Amino acid sequence: MDRERLLDMEERIKPVRRVAMGILAVSLLAAGPWIGWWTLLPLAAAAGFFAIADARLERSERPEYNMFAAWVGSEVMIAAAVALTGGPATATLSWLAIPIVTLSARFSLRGVLIGVGIAVVLLLAVAFGTHAQAVLDDPPLLTAPLALILATAVLSTALMRSDVQHRSEAVIDPLTGMLNRKALENRASELSQQSAVTNQPVGVIVGDLDNFKAINDEHGHPAGDAVLTDVAYMLRKQLRAFDLAYRIGGEEFLILVPGSDARDCVALAELLRRTVDACTFGDGAELTISFGISASVAGDRFDYERVFAAADDALYEAKSMGRNRVRCAELIERPSGSASAKAQAPRAATSVAS
């Protein structure tokens, strides 16, 4: 959920950030005759940091690190621009509070605290490094922007925590803590747009617990709920940072795998199948899971409905073939020469049995 929020908020913040950068640039341009034009260079560098981070966001296993590094780079560049304009002798020292607004929108409380600490250190460095005597003679030059940074962090964090709580209730499955269909709908739409730009494939893995009704019948519904929670945890634990897992039905799960083709998805699904098969749940209950897989083709726009339908068909085949297996619908084999075979190409089938 933290990564989902990071990706979601980054898309929302991106256009606003450009506007904010533009406002700062206009301000520096207007002050150019008095403070010089070179102050625009650090601001341009800050914009460059975010451009690089945005380009690597989907491909990174730890996107939060990329975005935080870009955030730190932008804060450092703003500090450099403030130092070039005169430090505490000018009103621009308060600009260090601007990036603080975006911290709580994308990062955990730990990230917010680290970011605020970095901003305070940069504030002190600029104030005492450029005009220490002015600060000593007039302490409010330092205390006023310091108070602004801290107040902005406190208020924005409180507001964001409230927003996250309400949004989580809308997109999080309360039993397993997994994302739900509403979150899936939003993410699938985003991946469709992104795939048109990146030309990377997107895989869909659909999993369904085998004979789950027997767990409820033999051990009771509370035990069944506990099993679902445990399975959800196991699945998430095996995923990469940029793979997202959803609960889309009673005992049915779906995983979106950006940047992965069918072969990669088969390997991942087989790992998940073995993980569930090797575990014992609750009072000694044993459980297996079946998976159906499909993926878009590199270079094609990701069509979620089509890929999901193929993966769902493959899951049905996995069930009909005996369960506890992985079935990949990429070229489902049909009788040679039949109209059905021609209509279905190119869809292939691979099967990995237990």
Q: Is 61 a catalytic residue?
A: no
- The answer to whether residue 289 scores a pLDDT higher than 90 is yes
Least confident of 56-65, 191-200, 233-242: 56-65
Q: What pLDDT, in 10s, does the model give residues 114-156?
A: 999 999 999 999 999 998 999 999 999 999 999 999 999 999 8
Q: Which of 10, 58, 251, 330 is catalytic?
A: 251
- Locate all alpha helices (DSSP H) within 172-220, ordered by sequence: 181-198, 212-219
**Does pLDDT of 38 surpass 90?**
no
Q: Are strands 289-295 and 325-330 parallel, antiparallel or unpaired?
A: parallel
pLDDT band at residue 169 under the 50/70/90 scheme = low
What's the pLDDT score for residue 108? Answer: 82
* Residue 280 pLDDT grade (very low, low, confident, very high; cuts 50, 70, 90): confident
188, exposed or middle or buried, with CB in 10 Å at 0-12, 13-18, 19+? buried
Residue 313 pLDDT exceeds 90: yes
Residue 50 has pLDDT above 90, yes or no: no
Domains of the chain from N-terminus onward: 2-171 (no CATH), 181-353 (3.30.70.270)
Q: How far is CA 53 from CA 89, 139, 173, 350, in A?
A: 33, 37, 30, 37
Task: Flag whether pLDDT at 275 surpasses 80.
Answer: yes
Report whether pLDDT(344) > 50: no
* Amino acid type, 306: R
Higher-pLDDT residue of 208, 198: 208
Backbone angles phi, psi at 298, to 5 degrees: -55, 130
206, amino acid identity: V
Residue 331: the pLDDT is: 45
pLDDT band (50, 70, 90) for residue 14: confident
CA angle 49, 9, 102 (to 5 degrees): 60
Q: For 205-262, how does the pLDDT look when each residue is reduced to its tens digit (9 = 90+)?
A: 999 999 898 888 888 888 889 999 999 999 998 988 778 899 998 899 999 999 999 9
The residue ranking higher by pLDDT, 55 or 115, is 115
Torsion angles phi and psi, residue 177, rounded to 5: 80, 5
